[in-house]
A and B are shown apart, each in its own frame.
Chain A
Amino acid sequence: MTEISKLPRTVPRLLLLLALCCPAASLAEAYAVAGMAIARIRTDTGATSPLLADLRLGYRFDRFNLDNHKLELALMPGLRDDNLNQLVTDIPLSTSLFYRYNVTPHYSIHTDLILGYSRTDVTSSYVNVPEFTDSFHGISFGVGFEESLKSIPQLAFKVDIMQLYRGSQLRINTLTLGFRYAF
């Protein structure tokens, strides 16, 4: 097994390590996110747009002047495939570990710069071609916006625009709309 294929396993381990390092009750605010994401799998010759669910768990640090920093684990299972002529593509699962830095802490709409690592599986089938699945993993980055509801401050509406994967000939981008709930 190559070093590259080992790496996705390390992601949840690192998250676990982080969780152990920072007792959630005292140092961090845990939150969950639920939303929908439209993915864009794009090459030089065409693109498809499968639909995904977007589920996340995260920590926002609230001590040591780190309250603008968040870490989250995202799981995006596929909801609907998409076609390009007879080509059917689907993303059965995308997993990511994101670090988010809030650059507008004093505004009601928070803007996060996002950096992380993602692994995205893409399943494809075409005429005379057996269905196969490829995994794409690498650095992800993007920007997120969120605003808390005035009546329920723990609940925030959020939008994330991400590039999950950027290869030499392939891009996988997502646009996520969802809600974040802080525990």
Chain B
Amino acid sequence: MHFRAVYTFFFYILLLLLAGCSNTEDEEDLVNLFAVASLDLVAINFPADSETLVSTDTFVDYRLEGTKSDGTSNVPITKNISWSVSSGAASSINSNGRLTTGSAGEVITLTARVGYLTASLEVTVSDARFDRVVQLSSQPVELNRCQSARLYPVGRYVRDDGTEEIRAVDNTIINTITWLVFNAEDSSPSQRARVRTENSIATLQAFASGNIILRAQAYSPYNDSIVTSGDFSQTLDNNLINLKLCRQSDTSLVSCTLGNPDLGENQTLAVVSLAEYRDSSGASNWENISALSKWGIDNPSYAEISLSADRSWLNIKALQAGTSPTVSVACGTIEQSITDSQLEEGVVLTEAVSCASGSTDCDADSSQITIGNSVSLSSLSVTANGLALQDNVELGINDTTVILRVTAHYSDGSSKDVTTDTETLYNRRNNVLTEDTDQSGQVIPGQYIADQSPGTAEIQITYQGQTFTALMAIPF
């Protein structure tokens, strides 16, 4: 036992030594290298339009760009970023690059780090107070009816010493702005456009074409009152040349059409409105304009229509069999009256929509839906070489080739052969039979050959959620 004691002593001493000796000192270098290499980067930088002058008590979302190893520059970077601000700053930055400024003015250094790459940006946090919006957007705004464009409003800020700063309206103020829209020709309230502000992003939405005037109304800490900006003129172009309805599932926007689809009772169809726009060079492209289209249905008791949560399509739910409601869509000035709140929420009317007579800035389309009785798949039946099989019941087959025929039976009494239907799935559960192939080597659906291994062949057949298990005793 002397040796065993030595061995045990040695083993415990070894474990004791090992337990305290995991090194991490070299990890950082390699981990940093992986972080950079996983994004294929060689350099990172802040975009040229990054804000370097920001207000107190607000937040700014910073972005980062990089240069790839193949030289491609200005590639957005969204992960593996570690953000920091200079120590001692009242402002802070979170892991998503959102800088939250403190209540005092200061100059801080933002640092973004991806692995061993770093980029820095000096940012001045200014305690100048907001006065009013002085420019609709720092970038030109061009859009057609039923299109939308992001606004980057520019504001005037005033310091305590009376000097001013003209810069992007900060994210706190932008959410408080009420936008007023007027028709340019008579200064009447306009339904041609709306400005929608969500998550500090202001978007100009055009519902019709024409010239409009926008005004921004917001509380001004500098004046301690609600202040309305001057007039901002904006043109909503009219380069829409076509409008059509398609299924939401269509992948080709150019070639799709909806036609007059059939729907079973209580079934739902998702459709989109697509517009073809032509730019100044003559090129055209199709866009989904469902969100800014005006939708209607001629008889809401036959079918119900509603926009999806993100308004990117319209759901049509068939309500009454034997009817043929018409779903209509228009972009532009329509005959029907709509309220401002309908414009805000999405225009879905319980009457047909149509272009106003004589309107030159409206296009429309419609589709008649035929609603039939609801038909559902009730069962599957299968024959093997002409012999009827029962689900999960074994039947003897004395042939070396087995040909299965699968028939789908529906609730309205109809049936159809689905043996070669692409939705029919065959799952061979053992090797008693093997799939037969044609001369080109393609598997023939439902056709099998005995594989010289006698026994009970089990093949599971699934079609549209219905399953049939074929059991066949094969003597070969």
Q: B27 touches which one: A27, A115, A169 (CB < 8 A)? A: A169
Is A21 touching B3 in the complex (CB atoms < 8 A)?
yes
In A1-56, the 8 Å CB interface with B consists of 3-4, 7, 10, 14, 17-18, 21-22, 27, 41, 43-47
- Considering only CB atoms, which chain A residue lies closest to B11 in the complex? A99
For the complex, what is the distance from the CA of A70 to the CA of B1, rounded to whole Å? Answer: 18
Q: Mark B33-67, 1 if CB is under 8 A from A, else 0.
A: 11111101010000000000000000000000000
Task: Say how far A32's CB is from chain B's closest CB, in angstroms.
Answer: 22
Q: Mark B66-91, 1 if CB is under 8 A from A, else 0.
A: 00010000000000100000000000
Q: Indicate if B29 sits at the interface (CB-CB under 8 A).
A: yes
- Give the chain B neighbours of A41 by CB distance below 8 A: 30
For the complex, what is the distance from the CA of A22 to the CA of B4, rounded to whole Å? Answer: 10
- Give the chain A neighbours of B69 by CB distance below 8 A: 85-86, 127
Q: Indicate if A75 sits at the interface (CB-CB under 8 A).
A: no
Given contacts A14-B14, A18-B10, contact A86 B40 (CB under 8 A): yes
Is B37 touching A169 in the complex (CB atoms < 8 A)?
no
Q: Indicate if B21 sits at the interface (CB-CB under 8 A).
A: yes
For the complex, what is the distance from the CA of A132 to the CA of B29, rounded to whole Å? Answer: 9
Q: A166 touches which one: B22, B35, B37, B80 (CB < 8 A)? A: B22
- Give the chain A neighbours of B33 by CB distance below 8 A: 87, 124, 126, 129
For the complex, what is the distance from the CA of A66 to the CA of B30, rounded to whole Å? Answer: 41
Q: Indicate if A103 sits at the interface (CB-CB under 8 A).
A: no
Is B27 touching A167 in the complex (CB atoms < 8 A)?
yes
Is A66 touching B27 in the complex (CB atoms < 8 A)?
no
**Chain B residues within 8 Å of chain A by Cβ, number:** 34
- Segment at the interface with B among A104-112, A136-144, A151-159, A175-183: A136-144
How many contacts between A and B, using CB within 8 angstroms?
109
For the complex, what is the distance from the CA of A61 to the CA of B15, rounded to whole Å? Answer: 19
Q: B3 touches which one: A10, A22, A46 (CB < 8 A)? A: A22
For the complex, what is the distance from the CA of A84 to the CA of B69, rounded to whole Å? Answer: 12
Q: Indicate if B393 sits at the interface (CB-CB under 8 A).
A: no
- Considering only CB atoms, which chain A residue lies closest to B36 in the complex? A126
Is B35 touching A139 in the complex (CB atoms < 8 A)?
no
- Give the chain B neighbours of A10 by CB distance below 8 A: 17
Q: Mark B317-334, 1 if CB is under 8 A from A, else 0.
A: 000000000000000000
In B215-269, the 8 Å CB interface with A consists of none
> Could you show 13 A-B contacts with beta carbons less than 8 Å apart?
A7-B17, A14-B14, A22-B7, A43-B30, A45-B38, A64-B1, A64-B4, A85-B37, A124-B30, A127-B42, A136-B26, A165-B22, A167-B22
Q: A45-B31, A45-B80, A84-B37 are in contact. List 18 more A-B contacts (CB 8 A).
A: A45-B34, A45-B38, A46-B35, A64-B3, A66-B7, A84-B38, A85-B37, A86-B40, A87-B36, A87-B37, A117-B14, A124-B30, A126-B36, A127-B42, A138-B22, A139-B19, A169-B27, A169-B31
**B residues lining the A interface (CB < 8 Å):** 1, 3-4, 6-7, 10-11, 14-15, 17-19, 21-24, 26-31, 33-38, 40, 42, 69, 80, 115-116
